[in-house]
A = this chain, B = another copy of it.
Amino acid sequence: MRQTLDFLLFDWLNAGELTSRERFAEHSAETFSAVLDTCEKIAREKFAPFNRLADTQEPHFDGERVHLPQATHDATRAYAESGMLAAAQDYDVGGMQLPCVIEMAGNAFFSKASVAMGGYAMLTSGNASLLMAHGTPLQREVFAKNEFAGRWFGTMCLSEPQAGSSLSDIATRAELEDEADALGPRYRLTGNKMWISGGEHEITENIVHLVLAKVPGPDGKLIPGTKGISLFIVPKKLVNERAELTGERNDVSLAGLNHKLGYRGTTNCLLNFGEGRFTPGGRKGAIGYLVGKPGEGLRAMFHMMNEARIGVGLGAVMLGYAGYEASLDYAKQRPQGRPMTAQASAGPSQARLTPSGGDGRSADGSGANKFGKDAASPQRPIIEHADVRRMLLAQKSYVEGGLALELFCARLVDELATGEDKAGAQALLDVLIPIAKSWPSEWCLESNSLAIQVLGGYGYTRDFPVEQYWRDQRLNMIHEGTHGIQALDLLGRKVVQQGGASLAALATRVQQTIERAIQTDWAPQANQLAAALAQVGSATKKAWSTGQPEDALANAVPYLQAFGHTVLAWLWLDVALAVGDDSDFAQGKRAAARYFFAYELPKIAAWLDVVARRDPLCRDIKPEYF
């Protein structure tokens, strides 16, 4: 993976050029590489060996405390000590001032080694970054800096049991207690928060919860919708202005751990705020400090949305990558049967198109002379079977393409922060973020399934890692905005906003790649991509041709799928143009690109067909018909 990562970063995305920007002036290609080296080493030594342990020794709540394997403590500690929690932050808050694309690349190693153990750090970094952007100077000093230092970890508390994707329906209530608290206007919070990753543990001495809640209006009622949502810092243990623990426990308690299919190394919690289990200051109610202005909580929470969604997408890619590498390794080692292709190189084929005897089970091995194969010859590694190669090539196209997508998006985040064409970067990011989140969640799940299939029965056992990758992966289509939510975001908003400006910006970039490719051996793929782009554009128009959202959005997920495959085809073409030589590495990239165009891109026709017809079948079916 490292070679591909370096190629994508430094050759394809020219990440080295970022050092010419003032913010990154003290960096060089060498310091970037050194960061990657460090991450790779810590991930290999502290995370990967314990990924299965973190799965089997699931977090356990004894009613008082949550127990985690010692390995999780050690791994997160090593991560914190590496400085990666503050990788992108300013030097003066202890950061490394790394570009987002390098930070993401570094984190990729941890996601690959143990996505669940890596979860605590990713959440903490995002939490603290949000406070850097929206908190008061003292909130940054007290909370963010101690999170960056790894002294405290952080969470994001959005969902509630009765309100998952529908944040407008959250019911956690925040009542003002003291407008003038030095740590920020002080409120008392009451409510329940569900699906809180890292919501309870004893890895760090404190946990900084960022909590969405509603401040009641003058009539004491909560305001419907998202307008009334504000953001609060709710520490598990109360702290003073000098960031010292006061010794008082805040009224936040663990109602229970969720027992999950996968991703078990990260605790996932139902938290009760203000139920009176603890009584800070002598009374019930969780103390929370307002961040930013009242009613702007959602805006603040989603300040870090691009990074959060790229992070989820990258995590999905790396789970896929881990499965790809495990199955590739297996396929090279495992002897089984005799491929038809191997025999072809041994001499002229004896095969004839005639029915053979034997049974159906081993069409691949039951007949001694089936298709001219010689049963007396030794079995060959399964990588020599065409269908195993297909499964490996599919995985390669998913995971390397996915990596290109996530790094491309991270690079755009850098353009947004320090580049010259911020508007252009914003426009592209707007349409790419739903893809960055959703595409690897879906296709690297397929990739993980193919990895199991390559290993056969062994892949179905817990003696090999591929089944865990597949289970861990299944979360990614659900959290951080479900697949359905991403689809509505893309078709309902991003591609139509500002008269379709974001979609146009993407089309321009795709067109540039097509124009370069049309001059090369890649002309057929360039033409295929041009046709795909036109189909996406046409389907977008037809979907919205009645102007009715219920018409347009009835098939938002097939649209998302087609859009994603088109974006990936574009990136693969662009990557293929960037590999120059005839090395095995370059040939592999070309093969994966060709695979994507031959086997994957043609799938979009079926998806776009229902979009363009505004097929009302799903929207209109009556519940009683099921």
The residues of A with any CB-CB pair to B shorter than 8 Å are: 158-159, 162-169, 194-195, 224-227, 258-262, 298-299, 301-302, 305, 309, 328, 332, 335-338, 340-341, 344, 349, 351-353, 355-356, 358-369, 371-372, 374-376, 379, 381, 383-390, 392-393, 396, 433-434, 445, 449, 452-453, 456-457, 459-463, 467, 470-471, 474-475, 477-489, 492-494, 496-498, 544, 547-550, 552-558, 584, 587-588, 591, 594-595, 598-599, 602-603, 605-606, 609-610, 615, 617-626
Contacts and interface: CB of A to CB of B under 8 A. Distances in A.
A364 B165 contact: yes
Nearest to A349: B548
Contacts of A496: 353, 355
A89 to B, nearest CB: 23
A515 B429 CA distance: 51
Going nearest first, the 8 A-B pairs with the smallest beta carbon separation are A225-B368, A225-B375, A166-B365, A602-B606, A302-B359, A588-B625, A363-B488, A224-B376
A372 B548 CA distance: 11
A32 B385 CA distance: 46
A485 B387 CA distance: 10
Nearest to A618: B390
Given A471-B471, A617-B598, A457 B479 contact: yes
The quantity of this chain's copies bound in the complex is 2
A133 to B, nearest CB: 14
A266 to B, nearest CB: 12
B340 A549 contact: yes
A461 B165 contact: no
A162 B335 contact: yes
Contacts of A471: 261, 471
Scoring A258, A389, A433, A544 by chain B CB atoms within 10 A of each residue's CB, the highest score goes to A389
A331 to B, nearest CB: 8
A1 B170 CA distance: 37
Contacts of A396: 626
17 contacts: A162-B335, A226-B358, A226-B366, A260-B462, A261-B471, A262-B460, A340-B550, A341-B550, A371-B549, A383-B623, A386-B554, A390-B557, A453-B477, A588-B626, A591-B617, A603-B606, A606-B606
Given A478-B459, A610-B599, A618-B595, A261 B588 contact: no
B474 A470 contact: yes
Nearest to A600: B606
Contacts of A165: 336-337, 361-362, 364-365, 456
B498 A355 contact: yes
B359 A299 contact: yes
A550 B344 CA distance: 8
Given A340-B550, A457-B479, A584-B622, 13 more contacts: A163-B336, A166-B364, A168-B368, A224-B368, A226-B362, A260-B460, A261-B467, A360-B489, A363-B485, A389-B618, A390-B557, A445-B449, A457-B478
A413 to B, nearest CB: 15
A626 B392 contact: yes
Contacts of A553: 340, 386
Given A375-B168, A375-B225, A298 B359 contact: yes
Contacts of A332: 623
A481 B453 CA distance: 12
B364 A484 contact: yes
A461 B260 contact: yes
Contacts of A385: 484
Contacts of A194: 457
B462 A478 contact: no
Contact of A493 (B341, B363, B598): B363
A598 B626 contact: no
Contact of A456 (B262, B478, B497, B555): B478
Scoring A460, A462, A619 by chain B CB atoms within 10 A of each residue's CB, the highest score goes to A460
Contact of A164 (B163, B456, B461): B456
Nearest to A554: B386
A365 B434 contact: no
A364 B488 contact: yes
A344 B227 CA distance: 24
Given A363-B492, A591-B625, A261 B460 contact: yes
Contacts of A623: 332, 381, 383-384
Contacts of A554: 386
B599 A558 contact: yes
